[in-house]
Structure 1
Amino acid sequence: MKIWCRFAIITLLFTIVSCNSKGDKKEENQKKAKVVIPELKLVIDSTAIAKFYEAYPKLQNFQGEVASLYTKKQSTQLWLDNKGVVEFGNTLYNKYKELETEGLKANFPYKEINSIFENNTDNKLSKVNTDLMITNLYFYYAEKVYRGFDEKTSLSLEWLLPRKKLNYQVLTDSIFKKSTINDDKKSKMFSQYYKLRDALHQYREIEKKGGWKTIETDEDYKSLKLGDSSAVIAQIRERLFITGDIKEDTKSAVCDSTLISAMKKYEFHHGYAQKNTILLEHINDLNIPVSDRIKTIIANMERCRWIDPELEKGQKYIEVNIPEFKLYIIEDGKIAFTSPVVVGKAMTKTVIFSGMMSNIVFSPYWNVPPSIIAKEIKPGMAKNKNYLAQKNLEWNNGAVRQLPGKNNSLGLVKFLFPNTSNIYLHDTPAKSLFERESRAFSHGCVRVAKPRELAIELLKVDPQWNPERIDKAMHAGKESWYTLKKKVPVYIGYFTAWVDREGNLNFYKDIYDRDESLIKLLTEE
């Protein structure tokens, strides 16, 4: 009985202790569950920002935008939480490290940025300065990729087309949406940029595999045609296969119709007239190293950064690509008209700019520029007293002009978009020049191979001006003006690499030697 009672008492005591122990643990767990780690909240005010730029002066260009951004965020951090850098910050850094895919170098001016992400234990920055450094990386990335060189630099390169304005308000708003550096919709840039970026990737892959071999020819090489047999043929075939201009490399040393067709395709996309023979100039073009082609692509990607993507949303506009010697009318995003053109000589370059076409002038006078009067007409008059009459010229209020007619230097029609450079589009009596591969012969204006068709295309919105009336006005021998009911934007650009609407990469000769200086700036960056 006593033993039983002792056992019962011990059991009861154990139960009480056990219950108390469980109760204590439960209470303790409840207390732990109630422990909340306070949200990280750094004070990043104007004083902290000013001190940051004193320490890192190479980033001062961003100070105003950075200060505005933190004010919007109530002077708290953007990129840090209790665990460290937020995921979007790491995404930003990864995009920065991949700047090569955008044709740029990842050379943020301060190495501290790498310690933040790659080896956090080496990060000696305070949390405030860490957040500020990442914010500056964000603006650095956005400016490099979305804006490119500043307007002062592009002007020094004679680029007078309107520059895209980088909207920092939109950029900073989208930080909170964590979407700015993801361009899946491909809407932030001029569409050609993304096409060239894809081409850059393709050519870099070719470069990684060793590029292409130099095609070796004999000193007396002249040409190859259908049916010819030569070791050069096999080399050409291999070279075309690498860039996808021919579908299969059969290793054949016989020039067959497949090779001729592939070479014609290559010639077309590299600014040559299509021929049935493979000339030395074609071989020399094929031998341009892949590294040089990559530089050309990168230079033209930079030019694309300067163009506002809103340009492409216009219902109707004219574009002229100087190195391509081509004019296009783009209507509702599609090519409505195209024509070969002649552009300015190297000494009288056609200007890269834009304007609004407002007038078409039929049977125009040509008002001779003072420079041509001084260099050509006055010396001609000194040698020949009948010089003016023979050239169909006349004095007009102290100036010289050429009378309307088929021999007029402007041809039978001109298209005006007022500008300080006095550049316009016009017809020409020198039709044979359009048969040339390189067509840089003018004093700066753009000569159009199909001026009648261009007039018809521009006036199709006016039913009163049918082709018959246009022909009559062009051959009237008397100048008459037509004012467009709606002005048409004209963009004269300079692209030596361009991906067409069929997805083909085209290269054109750098006729004004504009690529070299731009490439130098990009590679020195």
Structure 2
Amino acid sequence: MKTALYSSVLPQVRSGVFALALFGATVAFAPSGASAQVTAFKQSVAEFAAGEGAVAKFYRESAYTPIWTAPGEESMQRRAALLRALEEASAHGLPDQSALAASLMEQMRNARSARDLGQIEAALSTAYVNYATDLQTGLLDPGSIDDGIVRKKHTTDPVTYLEGIRDNQPMAYMRSLVPASPQYRALLREKFRLEQLVAKGGWGTTVPKGKLEPGDTGPAVIALRDRLVTMGYLPRSATAAFDMEVEQAVQKFQSDHGLEVDGVAGDGTIAELNKPVTERLKSVVVAMERERWLSPERGERHILVNQTDFTAKIVDRGDVTFETRSVIGKNQHDRRSPEFSDVMEHMIINPSWHVPRSIITKEYLPKLRNNPNAVRHILITDRQGRVVDRNSADFSQYTRSNFPYSMRQPPSRSNALGLVKFMFPNKYNIYLHDTPQKSLFSREVRAFSHGCIRLAQPFEFAYALLARQTEDPKAFFQRILSSGKETKVELEQKVPVHIIYRTAYVSGKGRAEFRRDVYGRDAKVWDALQRAGVALPGVQG
């Protein structure tokens, strides 16, 4: 569509004369009828914007001054910017809006009255607000997808979008609506790259099932080699042997996909190698939607926990300054770690573990019924905090609903929380902490906890946080630790915490990495995006 076409099909008001321009033919209304036409225009805008609260508010507050259908170059540029954006919406993993753009054009072509003009004005604003909102803050309601996605996505008053397009250079302002985070821009590039691969037929022949390791030869190794070549992990080669170059390529692939980096193409590695481009494309589109849910203000310093990657990172001004392995909640309905953002306020060194009631009633009460001396390492306390004499209590009379006691594990090296926990108080009772179960960090898939995030290097994590408020953070921490006393240490600089779930992201080195959908949440997000109208080349199911 040409910009000149937009200007030729819209009404204009000049010198008190209402004029409707249709491809060069102008229908004019006499000055005596101009006031009635203006009134009809305003009434039409009010009528057709009535169901759109923000749009109606904007026009009421601006005395129904048109921003799309007024005469002049500015309105023409706004229309051009909007129609172009609608035609390109699918590039952002949003529903294809080209049919809507065509419908709006048809509506403009058929305009014959002031009422038609008002309807067009309202329709353009509604289409624009919907597009801007979806692009900036996401197409979906996170909470409606999975009960573990408890994130509240950031929102923007839609009136702001209308004021922005009115008061700024339209094309530049429309471009500014694209999420500015480096991760979103990188995912956008990766989406385009994968779409090109889909158009070319993908990554070619899959690799036969079965273990392949250094020294192997034969057709399966050739299929592995060819797959790695098309994926960009291996330069073109004529080798039919699993040599050192193939081994190194397998290791790079394993690293980029969260697999054990052993250079052996076992069942897990081959399963990930054989996933089609379209599956990776789905992950990227889902990651873009998830990125839109997050506030653009992440915090100059923030903590990022990616559940699918089993890592926790400290990020300073966009750079990862500390990273450690993590353990997340077990893949059971009542144990999966939720996704949300909060603010870390303090750490507790030598913490007690106040056992959550769900664990008390589901796991410990049945044991106490059978044996009152079970789980002796945990104290049973009454409402006043006094320790209960196990031998005088009849646990057989209690159920999940009437168990009257609390349970607490005092500070110790065997404490379930280890020797330090990091608190960002929230209603989900989720926090980061140490653990005595160090062996779990060597596992490839690390989903074992009751929901909290366990850290492989909690002391070093603490040192990094304390470094901004004490000259010798290690000595400070160790002095408190050696006391054995439960001690709360406030963070002078509160740190935002973002617990996210990304099966696709672009690393600091600019390479796309993928992880398994450990809780099945991304599959649900993709299904919801499809129901909302998102469709991608080669991805129909």
TM-score range, shorter chain: 0.7 to 0.9
State whether residues 364 and 479 of structure 1, in contact with CA within 8 Å, keep that contact through their aligned partners in structure 2: yes
Inter-partner Cα distance in structure 2 for 1:387 and 1:327 = 34
Inter-partner Cα distance in structure 2 for 1:506 and 1:439 = 18
Inter-partner Cα distance in structure 1 for 2:47 and 2:406 = 64
State whether residues 204 and 230 of structure 2, in contact with CA within 8 Å, keep that contact through their aligned partners in structure 1: no
State whether residues 143 and 150 of structure 2, in contact with CA within 8 Å, keep that contact through their aligned partners in structure 1: no
Partner SS for 1:350: coil
Q: Equivalent residue for 2:275? A: 288
- Residue 186 (structure 2) aligned to one of 195, 198, 208: 195
State whether residues 315 and 331 of structure 1, in contact with CA within 8 Å, keep that contact through their aligned partners in structure 2: yes
Inter-partner Cα distance in structure 1 for 2:245 and 2:429 = 47
State whether residues 161 and 491 of structure 1, in contact with CA within 8 Å, keep that contact through their aligned partners in structure 2: no
Q: Equivalent residue for 1:143? A: 133
Q: Equivalent residue for 2:434? A: 427
- Residue 396 (structure 1) aligned to one of 365, 381, 385: 381
CA apart distance, 1:503: 0.8
State whether residues 435 and 454 of structure 2, in contact with CA within 8 Å, keep that contact through their aligned partners in structure 1: yes
CA apart distance, 1:416: 1.2
CA apart distance, 1:421: 1.0
Inter-partner Cα distance in structure 2 for 1:400 and 1:71 = 58
- Residue 161 (structure 1) aligned to one of 147, 151, 155: 151
Q: Equivalent residue for 1:356? A: 343
1:263 equivalent in alignment to 2:254: no
CA apart distance, 1:180: 6.0
Partner SS for 2:86: helix
The change in CA–CA distance for 1:235 and 1:480 in structure 2 (over 3 A counts) is same
Q: Deviations over 1:240-274 (max 9, x none)?
A: 2333233x222422112222112111111111121
Q: How does 1:22-41 map to 2 (within 5 A)?
A: none
Mean Cα displacement is larger for which, 111-120 or 462-471? Answer: 111-120
Partner SS for 1:139: helix
State whether residues 414 and 427 of structure 1, in contact with CA within 8 Å, keep that contact through their aligned partners in structure 2: yes
One-letter identity of the residue aligned with 1:489: P
Q: For this pair of structures, how many residues does the alignment match?
A: 475
1:300 equivalent in alignment to 2:295: no
Superposed CA RMSD in Å reads: 3.0
The change in CA–CA distance for 1:183 and 1:81 in structure 2 (over 3 A counts) is closer
Q: TM-score, normalised by structure 2?
A: 0.80
> Could you say which structure has the larger radius of gyration?
1
Q: Equivalent residue for 1:440? A: 447
Q: How does 1:192-271 map to 2 (within 5 A)?
A: 192-217=183-208, 221=210, 223-246=211-234, 248-271=235-258
One-letter identity of the residue aligned with 1:105: P
State whether residues 92 and 181 of structure 1, in contact with CA within 8 Å, keep that contact through their aligned partners in structure 2: no
The change in CA–CA distance for 1:513 and 1:383 in structure 2 (over 3 A counts) is same
Inter-partner Cα distance in structure 1 for 2:263 and 2:489 = 44
- Residue 83 (structure 2) aligned to one of 83, 89, 93: 93
CA apart distance, 1:67: 4.9
One-letter identity of the residue aligned with 1:207: V
Inter-partner Cα distance in structure 2 for 1:152 and 1:283 = 32
CA apart distance, 1:120: 6.8
Inter-partner Cα distance in structure 2 for 1:152 and 1:231 = 46
Inter-partner Cα distance in structure 2 for 1:156 and 1:345 = 16
State whether residues 55 and 126 of structure 2, in contact with CA within 8 Å, keep that contact through their aligned partners in structure 1: no
State whether residues 55 and 125 of structure 2, in contact with CA within 8 Å, keep that contact through their aligned partners in structure 1: no
Inter-partner Cα distance in structure 2 for 1:244 and 1:79 = 50
Inter-partner Cα distance in structure 2 for 1:321 and 1:172 = 35
1:48 equivalent in alignment to 2:44: yes
Q: Deviations over 1:75-128 (max 9, x none)?
A: 3352454799824413321221222211122248xx674155379756788333
The change in CA–CA distance for 1:199 and 1:120 in structure 2 (over 3 A counts) is same
1:463 equivalent in alignment to 2:470: yes
1:323 equivalent in alignment to 2:308: yes
CA apart distance, 1:36: 10
Mean Cα displacement is larger for which, 111-120 or 285-294? Answer: 111-120
Partner SS for 2:375: helix
Unmatched segments (≥5 aa) in structure 2: 1-13, 21-36, 383-404, 533-541
Q: Equivalent residue for 2:390? A: none
State whether residues 68 and 75 of structure 2, in contact with CA within 8 Å, keep that contact through their aligned partners in structure 1: no
Mean Cα displacement is larger for which, 151-160 or 298-307? Answer: 151-160
Inter-partner Cα distance in structure 2 for 1:405 and 1:174 = 57
Partner SS for 1:278: coil
Partner SS for 2:279: helix
Q: Deviations over 1:279-331 (max 9, x none)?
A: 121111111121121111111111111111122xx232111111111101112
Inter-partner Cα distance in structure 1 for 2:495 and 2:515 = 27
CA apart distance, 1:187: 6.9
State whether residues 77 and 128 of structure 1, in contact with CA within 8 Å, keep that contact through their aligned partners in structure 2: no
State whether residues 42 and 118 of structure 2, in contact with CA within 8 Å, keep that contact through their aligned partners in structure 1: no
Inter-partner Cα distance in structure 2 for 1:411 and 1:84 = 63
Inter-partner Cα distance in structure 1 for 2:16 and 2:410 = 88
Q: Equivalent residue for 2:459? A: 452
Unmatched segments (≥5 aa) in structure 1: 1-34, 55-59
Partner SS for 1:318: strand
The change in CA–CA distance for 1:394 and 1:76 in structure 2 (over 3 A counts) is closer
Q: Deviations over 1:413-448 (max 9, x none)?
A: 111111111111110010010001111100011100
CA apart distance, 1:225: 2.0
Inter-partner Cα distance in structure 1 for 2:218 and 2:489 = 59
The change in CA–CA distance for 1:87 and 1:332 in structure 2 (over 3 A counts) is closer
The change in CA–CA distance for 1:200 and 1:181 in structure 2 (over 3 A counts) is farther
Inter-partner Cα distance in structure 2 for 1:410 and 1:51 = 60
Q: Deviations over 1:138-187 (max 9, x none)?
A: 12221221222354755755433342222434322221323367666687
Partner SS for 1:309: coil
Inter-partner Cα distance in structure 2 for 1:123 and 1:505 = 48
Residue identity over aligned pairs, in percent, reads 29
Inter-partner Cα distance in structure 1 for 2:325 and 2:424 = 19
Inter-partner Cα distance in structure 2 for 1:499 and 1:418 = 30
Mean Cα displacement is larger for which, 174-183 or 428-437? Answer: 174-183
